[in-house]
Amino acid sequence: MKWLKTSIGRLRVIGFWEGVSFLVLLLIAMPLKYLADQPGAVRVVGMAHGVLFVLYVWAAVQAAMEHGWNWRRTGLVLLGSVLPGGPFVVDAKVLREAEAELQVATARV
C-alpha cells in the first residue's frame, strides 16, 4: 500500500493494470471476437481498459506537474500508454528512475 502514497507510485500501479488490460484486450478479447464470434469479452475488457487508460493519463499528468518533469519524460510516459506493453517499459526505464530521484531528494531534506 505504500505505493499509493506518492503520485509516482500510483502511476506505477495504474500503469501495471493498464498494461495488463491492453494485452488482455489485444491477445484474448479481440481474437475471441473475430475468431470465435464472442464480442462480449471486448465490451467488458475494452471498458475496463478505457477507464484504466484515462486514469493512467490523469496520473501521468498529475505526477508530471507535482514533480516538475520536463516534456521529454512526460511525453515518454504518455507514449507508453498507447503501445502494447508500453507501461511496463515506462515503469522499468522511466518511473523507477524518477522514484529513485525522489527518494534521494527527500533523503537530503
Q: What is the pLDDT of residues 43-65, one digit of tens each?
A: 999 999 999 999 999 999 999 99
Q: Is the pTM of this model over 0.95?
A: no
Residue bearing cell 467488458: 44
Domain positions in the chain are 2-108
Tell me if 24 sits within 8 A of 7, measured CB to CB.
no
* C-alpha–C-alpha distance, residues 39 and 36, integer Å: 9
Chain mean pLDDT for the chain: 90
**Residue length of the chain:** 109
Q: Which helix (H) or strand (E) holds 17?
A: helix 7-24
Q: Which helix (H) or strand (E) holds 98?
A: helix 96-108
Tell me if 102 sits within 8 A of 67, measured CB to CB.
yes
Q: Which helix (H) or strand (E) holds 89?
A: helix 86-90
Residue 100 pLDDT level (bands cut at 50, 70, 90): confident
